[in-house]
Amino acid sequence: MTLIKTHHNRRSFLKVSAAAGGGMMIGFNWLTSCTPASEPAIAIPNEWFDINGYIKIGDTGLVTIFSPNPEIGQNVMTSMPMVVAEELDVKWDHVVVEQGALDEDAFKNPQFAGGSLSIKLGWDALRMAGAAGKRMLLEAAAKEWAVDISELSASEGVISEKNGERSVGYGEIASKAAGIEVPEELELKEPKDYKLIGTFQKNVEGPKIVTGKPLFGLDYEKEGMVLAMIQHPPAFGMKIRDFNEGEIKAMDGVKDAFIIDTTTEEPIWAETNAFNNLIAIIGDTTWELMQAKKALKVNYETVSDPENSEMHEQWLIEGFDKGNVEESRTDGDPDAAFAKAAKVIERTFTSPFMAHNTMEPMNFFAHVTGDSAELTGPTQTPEALREAAAKLLGMDEDNISVNMTRMGGGFGRRLYVHFGLEAAAISKQLGAPVKMIYTREDDMTQGTYRPAYRSTYKAGLDADNNLIAFSVKGVGLPEGPVFPNRFPAGTVDNYTAVKLGMPTNISTGAWRAPRSHFTAGAEQSFIDEVAELAGKDPIEFRLELFERAKNNPVGEENDYDAARYAGVLELVKEKANWGTSIPGMHRGVAAYYCHNSYVAQVFDVAMESGQPKVKKVWCAVDCGIVVNREGAKNIIEGGVVDGIGHGMYSELKFENGSSVHNNFNSYQLIRHSQAPEEIEVFFVENEIAPTGLGEPGLPPAEAALANALYQATGTRYYHRPFSTADQGQERIEIG
Amino acid sequence: MATFNLQINGKNQQVDVAPDTPMLWVLRDHIKLVGTKYGCGVSMCGACTIHLDGEAVRSCQTTVSAAEGKSITTIEGLSEKGDHPVQKAWLEMDVAQCGYCQAGQIMSAAALLERNPNPSDQEIETAMNGNICRCGTYTRIKQAVKTAAANSQS
Ligand code: FES
Ligand code: FES
């Protein structure tokens, strides 16, 4: 048994229920606003009892569990309640799930979706909520029967006397449990006793998704609501001066048009934004607003020089000497080691800017009145939105409620709160509830883009093909991609890593597995080439390095566990039958650690009609305890496809300060025919506290693909996107 | 503005809109059927897929005047109880991640199976290639289409 200190009382846990129950859900009745985990196996209750902020129990034994964190497709709306249900000890088909509103005090958990952190950070709070609920129910029964609590046990929603006849369902005792204090210390289950955690459970919102129920921000509707669309300047470095307001207001279906300003004092990172001044056009229907947008005639002023992609490439090169050193590390004497190395190899990798392109474009609902504001929509950072809105509106945070809808993708785009602020600014000016929506073009040309990068790697081998020197220097616009303390730091005596930044006026931000996506692709491709130069098998070469890091690591700050890193490589090696060769099949491998989880992948590529086709991908994952195997596999598969897509096809170029690409006819995303035919996912089984999976599946994919492509085509892929970028070598056309 | 009589999911509906209004926005803004999604507005993503007389079309490119007189089916009307073989297969394979593209994927898949009950992998890829899934659920979608095909035949 594990004991855990609660550090809080029942009152603080309870507070959320009111907030979560009221106001959040899109004006549906109870039955549609919560989600049966499957068809609930028991009757709909007449009365509900609040147990704590996460849990409500109905008189029939049906349990509502509030999911605290934003749902962007990472499936936390299933996995987080599973953890609560495990400790509460109820059957999963007796559970319905509801999205909780923003109330971090009550949930005792940071409510955001970023850094693959939901499960890692929520692990204790979720288990505690479930265990506290179970304890309260047990105490209520003990009191009722006048026995000691030690004489009772609880399982699957029923409390029984260990040595007696009596038993009572949670639903029957819930009314009495609601008044019981939460003890200071709670018992948590041992992993070996888990009944629900580690099983395969389907997405709790699946039935609504496949029937087209209103779930997303764009679907949100409220009485009296109007629609708004925005127009931003055509280029970075420009600002709106004025526009043909009279003409626009006179158009069919247009109710109003004006310029908003979303500038806030001392903006934090989440307030990153391409433009603070936007034209807002208000009306009742999207199509009429789109026509009004087309009829805009706007005067702009230039506030900073327009940039283009040639400049960006130049700056990435210059950054090597002129960039701002953001982080660095040196072990041993790399210069001397390179000088005496028998073989030296140096390679440069690049990546252009990229857009997030969540399938659901940015949007938000706001209703700002004189003294309060309601903000509802797709946000990965509700708390940051509330803080920023309080500054923008000059309002106390307590008077601002933030509700989360399901999100049509996040990938980091919805960590930024500007679209919520824009809705708030529009609603304030109008004095009416409004849903602000972006077109795809608005979304793609006003991004918080993935930065552009360039890294040069260099390795030195001695006469026995041992790695004796390693260096990496990477520049980013605006932030460098290098993680100085990650692999291969710790495995080489002479090592240097430098992370450099160069300024740009293009707005950038976190994009799924920030920096790791590029660095994994570059580093793991480079390692493949170094292994080849050393005449070693690429997995064995890596395992040798991890052996060194396990037994005798260089330096103390190494940001990974060498045994777990080696563990996923060994697992993928076994599962993929590495070392056997199938005629016509070409293999590549890569492994990466980021966001607290380890992933290794093997790609099998075949040439079909002269084109490479990914036939199969094996993934080995160590994320500690796996909460929901079904969701975990799905998100890893998605990471693989995302890694292939952005490695192969996507790029955002600039001309005169504007993105050249503004929709999917010019910006290429991966499609069905380009996806792998099969992906298999395997987990390392252990009892380590769980870590996240939203990001770690992506980074190794690009490198495993590049390494397999090399085997298939003889070309090393250094520059993204692989399908179109010049690789500086003769090569066949792929795509 | 003009009046259009539409047959949507077996029901007659009247709307008063400009003749060039895409069905996507008629459905979402006027009829309040929001299961059909906006992704690009230029026929490149498939999120807005509906059936027009049983054929999969992009509702962002189908004007209301072109849809009048035809039978329109949206995700909400694909089946009465959410139990169309394609919907069931989607649940069985637990396809969705964010779920935003899935209504369009399901409508494309249902139309495919209607005209080709037993498609090859190649035929699935070709029929589904216009439907982007940004979350990358493609391998599950392909399996779900095959599952739906198999279940419909047994
Ligand atoms: S919205 Fe119609 S195809 Fe994208
Ligand atoms: S499930 Fe998110 S776009 Fe397809």
Distance set, CA A57 to CA A66, A95, A122, A600 (Å)? 12, 9, 21, 42
pLDDT at A82 over 60: yes
Cα-Cα-Cα-Cα torsion A439, A440, A446, A450, nearest 10 degrees, comes to 160
d(CA A207, CA A36): 9
Cβ(B23)–Cβ(B41) under 8 Å?
no
Residue A107 pLDDT level (bands cut at 50, 70, 90) = confident
d(CA A700, CA A643): 8
Is there a domain that residue A183 lies in? yes
Name the more confident of A285 and A14.
A285
Judge if A549 and A424 occupy the same domain: no
Residue A25 pLDDT level (bands cut at 50, 70, 90) = very low
Residue B145 sits at the chain A interface (C-beta within 8 Å): no
Q: Which residue has the tokens 């291969």?
A: A488
A237 φ/ψ sector (left φ>0, alpha ψ -120 to 50, else beta) = left
d(CA A186, CA A511): 39
Q: Do A212 and B103 touch (CB under 8 A)?
A: yes
Judge if A166 and A265 occupy the same domain: no
pLDDT of residue A34: 45
Judge if A556 and A691 occupy the same domain: yes
Q: Containing H/E element for A572?
A: helix A562-575
Query: How far, in Å, is the centroid of ligand 1 from the Cα of A725?
Result: 28
Residue A5 pLDDT level (bands cut at 50, 70, 90) = low
A623-676 confidence digits (pLDDT tens): 999 999 999 999 999 999 999 999 999 999 999 999 999 999 999 999 999 999
Chain A: nearest CA to B154, how far in angstroms?
Answer: 22
Rg (CA), chain B: 15
B28-56 confidence digits (pLDDT tens): 999 999 999 999 999 999 999 999 999 99
Q: Do B40 and A637 touch (CB under 8 A)?
A: no
- Single-letter amino acid, residue B91: L
Judge if A667 and A559 occupy the same domain: yes
Q: Do A664 and B45 touch (CB under 8 A)?
A: yes
Residue A730 pLDDT level (bands cut at 50, 70, 90) = confident
Q: Do A215 and B99 touch (CB under 8 A)?
A: yes
Residues of A in contact with B133 (CB under 8 A): 359
Query: How far, in Å, is the centroid of ligand 2 from the Cα of A73?
Result: 8
Q: How far is CA A28 from the centre of its chain?
A: 28
Judge if B12 and B63 occupy the same domain: yes
Judge if B6 and B62 occupy the same domain: yes
Q: How far is CA A161 from the centre of its chain?
A: 45
> What residue of B is the nearest CA neighbor of A283?
B29
Substitution target in B48, B80, B94 with the highest count of A β-carbons within 10 Å is B94
For residue B114, what are the domain limits? 85-153
Query: How far, in Å, is the centroid of ligand 2 from the Cα of A697?
Result: 16
Judge if B137 and B108 occupy the same domain: yes
Is there a domain that residue A310 lies in? no
Q: DSSP E strands: which ranges in A378-422?
A: 400-404
d(CA B114, CA B125): 16
**Does ligand 1 have an atom closer than 6 angstroms to the CB of B100?**
no
Supply A202's token pair.
Answer: 């389907």
Judge if B50 and B93 occupy the same domain: no
Judge if B45 and B95 occupy the same domain: no
Judge if A279 and A134 occupy the same domain: no
Cβ(A54)–Cβ(A38) under 8 Å?
no
Substitution target in A72, A82, A209, A511 with the highest count of B β-carbons within 10 Å is A209
Substitution target in A82, A210, A628 with the highest count of B β-carbons within 10 Å is A210
Judge if B72 and B115 occupy the same domain: no
Residue A184 pLDDT level (bands cut at 50, 70, 90) = confident
Cβ(A113)–Cβ(A380) under 8 Å?
yes
Q: Do B91 and A207 touch (CB under 8 A)?
A: yes
pLDDT of residue A412: 96
Q: What is the CATH number of the domain that holds B71?
A: 3.10.20.30
Q: Is A101 helix (H, G, I), strand (E, B) or coil?
A: coil
pLDDT at A32 over 50: no
Instruction: Please tell me the total count of domains within chain B.
Output: 2
Mutate to test the pocket of ligand 2, among B98, B105, B107 (most ligand atoms within 8 A of CB): B98
Judge if B66 and B37 occupy the same domain: yes
**Does ligand 1 have an atom closer than 6 angstroms to the CB of B38?**
yes
Q: What is the pTM of this model?
A: 0.95
Return the sign of the alpha-carbon dihedral for residues A123, A125, A127, A130: negative
Judge if A241 and A222 occupy the same domain: yes
A587-604 confidence digits (pLDDT tens): 999 999 999 999 999 999
Judge if A705 and A600 occupy the same domain: yes
A147-158 confidence digits (pLDDT tens): 999 999 999 999
Judge if A550 and A518 occupy the same domain: yes
Q: Which of A153, A187, A210 is at the close of a domain?
A: A210
Q: What is the CATH number of the domain that holds B104?
A: 1.10.150.120
* Helices then strands, each counted (H, E), chain B: 6, 5
Judge if A573 and A548 occupy the same domain: yes
Identify which of A14, A107, A127, A119 has the alpha carbon closest to the alpha carbon of residue A76. A119
Q: Which of A387, A417, A437 is at the close of a domain?
A: A437
Q: Containing H/E element for B86?
A: helix B85-92
**Does ligand 1 have an atom closer than 6 angstroms to the CB of B130?**
no
Average pLDDT over residues A211-234: 97
Instruction: Please tell me the total count of domains within chain A.
Output: 3
Is there a domain that residue A95 lies in? yes
Is there a domain that residue A148 lies in? yes
Q: What is the CATH number of the domain that holds A6?
A: 3.30.365.10
pLDDT at A16 over 60: no
- Single-letter amino acid, residue A723: S
Average pLDDT over residues A393-421: 97
pLDDT of residue A29: 29
In DSSP terms, A374 is beta-bridged to A367, A401
pLDDT of residue B154: 64
d(CA A13, CA A19): 12
Mutate to test the pocket of ligand 1, among B60, B75, B107, B108 (most ligand atoms within 8 A of CB): B60
Mean pLDDT, consecutive 10-residue stretches, chain B (154 aa), reads: 97 98 98 98 98 98 98 98 97 98 98 97 97 98 98 82
For residue A201, what are the domain limits? 2-210
Judge if A535 and A423 occupy the same domain: no
Judge if B72 and B92 occupy the same domain: no
Judge if B93 and B121 occupy the same domain: yes
Residue A728 pLDDT level (bands cut at 50, 70, 90) = confident
The interface residues of chain B toward chain A in range 75-94, judged by CB-CB distance below 8 A, are 75-76, 78, 82, 87, 90-91, 94
Q: Which of B31, B47, B78 is at the close of a domain?
A: B78
Cα-Cα-Cα-Cα torsion A185, A189, A195, A199, nearest 10 degrees, comes to 100
Nearest to A675 among B18, B96, B139 (CB): B139
- Reported residue count of chain A is 735
d(CA A300, CA A539): 56
Judge if B6 and B71 occupy the same domain: yes
Gap between the terminal Cα atoms of chain A: 55
pLDDT at A18 over 60: no
Judge if B31 and B70 occupy the same domain: yes
pLDDT of residue A735: 66
Judge if B43 and B72 occupy the same domain: yes
d(CA A696, CA A683): 13
DSSP code for B131 = -
Q: Which of B12, B45, B78 is at the close of a domain?
A: B78
A495-516 confidence digits (pLDDT tens): 999 999 999 999 999 999 999 9
Q: How far is CA B48 from the centre of its chain?
A: 7
Average pLDDT over residues A196-208: 97
A683-692 confidence digits (pLDDT tens): 999 999 999 9
Q: Which of B78, B111, B129 is at the close of a domain?
A: B78
Judge if A381 and A523 occupy the same domain: no
Gap between the terminal Cα atoms of chain B: 49
Residues of B in contact with A219 (CB under 8 A): 34
Query: How far, in Å, is the centroid of ligand 2 from the Cα of A693?
Result: 16
Nearest to B38 among A75, A218, A357 (CB): A218
Judge if A234 and A177 occupy the same domain: no
Average pLDDT over residues A452-458: 98
Residue A39 pLDDT level (bands cut at 50, 70, 90) = low
Is there a domain that residue A318 lies in? no
- Give the list of residues 6+ apart from residue B16 with CB closer than 8 angstroms, or none: B1, B2, B3, B4
Identify which of A511, A221, A267 has the alpha carbon closest to the alpha carbon of residue A385. A267
The percentage of residues in chain A with a pLDDT greater than 90, rounded to a whole number, is: 88
Number of Cβ atoms within 10 Å of the Cβ of A245: 15
Average pLDDT over residues A363-369: 98
Chain A: nearest CA to B109, how far in angstroms?
Answer: 12
pLDDT at A247 over 90: yes
pLDDT of residue A252: 94
pLDDT of residue A37: 46
